[in-house]
C-alpha cells in the first residue's frame, strides 16, 4: 500500500512540476522573441515583464516540492507531518535576477558582433534563456528539498531521473546516496528530483549496484575500458562535483574544466 501511495505521489508531483516548467518556458521564450529590439532598454523591459512570473513559478516549485517530500516522509515514518513551507531567496544564484535574465540579450549582441544575422543571434539568445530558466527552476527544487527534508529529520536521499531523457551524468549519479546536509548537485538541463531514503542508517555510497554496473558497461563499450567486475572505471573517475560560483555544486565529467582568468589570451 505504501509503495502504491508513494508512486501516486511521485507521478502527481512529476506531472505538476513538468507542466509548471513547460508553461514558464513557453512564457519567457514568447516574451523574448517578441521583443522589437535587443538593446539595454529592451533587456530592462523584458526583465520587468517576466521576472514576476519567473519568481512566482520558482515559489510554486518550492511549494510543490515541500508538499511532495513532506507527504513522502510522513508515509515512510507512518506519522502525519504537516508541510511548513519553504523560503527561497529571490536571487537563487546569489546574483540579482535582473542581471541573470538580461544575459540572453548580451548573447544576442555578441552574436551579431561576431557576424551572425539577427534571427541566428536571437536563436542563440533563446538557447541561453532556456538554460537559465531551467537551471533556476531546478535550483528552486533542490533548495526547497533540502529545507523540507532537513525539517522532516531525513539524513539521506537519492536522486531520481524524471521522464525518458536522463543523461549519463544523471544515470550514474542516481545510483549513489547523498546526505541531506549537502545540496543536490545539478547540471544545465537537469530534471532529477530528490527522493528521501527511509531510516537514519547510512545505506552506503552505492545504492543501485545493477544500474551502476550497466552504466559502466556502456562506458566500457564506448571507451574500451572494463574489468571482470564491471566496476571500472570507478564512477568517481568519471563524474565529479565542481563548485560553481553562482549555481553551487554541479555534476561534471572529470575531464571538463571551467574557464577562468588564466584562459584569457594575453596581448602585448
Helix pair angle (40-77, 118-151), 10° resolution: 30
Q: How many distinct structural domains can be found in the chain?
A: 2
C-beta separation of 123 from 129 below 8 A? no
> Which of 53-57, 206-210, 233-237, 259-263 is modeled with the greatest confidence?
53-57
Q: Using a pLDDT cut of 70, give the percent of the chain over it.
A: 68
Provide the mean pLDDT of the chain: 79
Greater confidence, 2 or 31?
Answer: 31
Co-location of 122 and 236 in the same domain: no
**Residues 135 and 60 occupy one common structural domain:** yes
Confidence of residue 228 (pLDDT cuts 50, 70, 90): very low
In angstroms, the Cα distances linking 105 to 22, 38, 45, 53, 136 are 22, 6, 11, 19, 18
Residues 134, 246 within the same domain = no
Give yes or no: residues 170 and 186 share one domain: yes
Question: How confident is the model over 187-200, as a mean pLDDT?
Answer: 73
Domain boundary among 153, 184, 210: 153
pLDDT of residue 230: 40
Q: Give how far the C-alpha of residue 246 lies from the chain's centroid of Cα atoms, to the nearest Å.
A: 13
Q: Are residues 19 and 145 in the same domain?
A: yes
| pTM of the complete model | 0.75
Q: Average pLDDT of 173-186?
A: 70
- Based on the fold, state whether residues 143 and 161 are members of the same structural domain: no
Q: Are residues 182 and 94 in the same domain?
A: no
User: Which is it for strands 193-196 and 239-244: parallel, antiparallel or unpaired?
Assistant: unpaired
Count of all residues that appear for the chain in the document: 268
Residue ranges making up the domain that contains 217: 155-268
Lowest mean pLDDT among 62-71, 122-131, 139-148, 225-234: 225-234
| pLDDT score at 45 | 97
Residues 178 and 212 in one domain: yes
Measured distance CA(244)–CA(219) in Å, rounded: 26
Choosing from 153, 180, 214, the residue where a domain stops is 153
pLDDT of residue 237: 52
Q: Who wins on pLDDT, 200 or 36?
A: 36
| Statement to judge: residues 193 and 240 lie in one domain | yes
Give me 77's grid cell: 515514518
pLDDT tens digits along 132-150: 999 899 899 988 988 988 8
pLDDT for the residue numbered 146:
87
- Pick the most confident of 17-21, 75-79, 143-147: 17-21
d(CA 158, CA 207): 8
102-127 pLDDT, tens digit per residue, is: 999 999 999 999 999 999 999 999 99
End-to-end Cα spacing for the chain: 71
pLDDT > 70? residue 183: no
Cα three-residue angle 210-192-145, rounded to 5 degrees = 115
Task: Over range 86-111, report the average pLDDT.
Answer: 94
- pLDDT of 265 reads 41
If one compares 181 and 133, the residue with the highest pLDDT of the two is 133
Residue 235 sits in the same domain as residue 256 = yes
Residue that terminates a domain, selected from 88, 122, 153 = 153
Q: Is residue 222 located within the same domain as residue 250?
A: yes
Cα 200 to its chain centre, rounded Å, is: 26
Return the CA Rg of the chain: 21
Is 63 found in the same domain as 178? no
The greatest distance separating any two alpha carbons of the chain, rounded to the nearest whole angstrom, comes to 71
Amino acid at each position: 500500500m505504501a509503495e502504491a501511495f508513494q508512486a501516486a505521489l511521485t507521478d502527481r508531483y512529476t506531472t505538476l512540476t513538468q507542466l509548471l516548467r513547460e508553461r514558464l518556458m513557453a512564457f519567457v521564450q514568447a516574451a523574448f522573441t517578441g521583443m522589437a529590439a535587443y538593446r539595454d532598454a529592451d533587456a530592462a523591459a523584458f526583465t520587468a515583464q517576466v521576472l514576476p512570473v519567473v519568481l512566482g513559478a520558482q515559489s510554486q516549485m518550492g511549494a510543490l516540492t515541500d508538499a511532495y517530500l513532506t507527504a513522502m516522509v510522513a508515509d515512510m515514518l507512518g506519522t502525519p507531518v504537516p508541510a511548513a513551507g519553504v523560503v527561497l531567496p529571490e536571487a537563487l544564484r546569489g546574483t540579482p535576477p535582473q542581471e541573470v535574465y538580461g544575459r540572453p540579450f548580451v548573447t544576442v549582441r555578441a552574436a551579431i558582433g561576431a557576424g551572425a544575422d539577427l534571427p541566428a543571434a536571437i536563436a542563440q539568445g533563446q538557447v541561453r534563456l532556456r538554460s537559465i530558466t531551467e537551471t533556476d527552476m531546478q535550483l528552486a527544487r533542490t533548495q526547497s528539498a533540502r529545507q523540507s527534508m532537513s525539517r522532516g529529520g531525513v539524513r539521506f536521499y537519492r536522486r531520481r531521473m524524471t521522464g525518458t531523457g536522463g543523461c549519463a551524468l544523471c544515470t550514474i549519479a542516481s545510483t549513489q546516496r547523498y546526505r541531506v546536509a549537502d545540496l543536490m548537485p545539478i547540471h544545465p538541463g537537469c530534471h532529477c528530483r530528490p527522493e528521501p531514503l527511509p531510516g537514519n542508517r547510512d545505506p552506503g555510497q552505492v545504492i543501485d549496484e545493477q544500474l551502476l554496473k550497466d552504466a559502466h558497461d556502456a562506458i566500457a563499450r564506448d571507451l574500451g575500458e572494463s574489468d571482470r567486475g564491471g566496476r571500472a572505471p570507478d564512477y568517481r573517475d568519471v563524474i565529479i562535483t565542481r563548485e560553481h560560483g553562482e549555481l553551487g555544486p554541479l555534476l561534471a565529467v572529470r575531464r571538463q574544466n571551467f574557464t577562468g582568468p588564466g584562459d584569457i589570451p594575453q596581448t602585448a
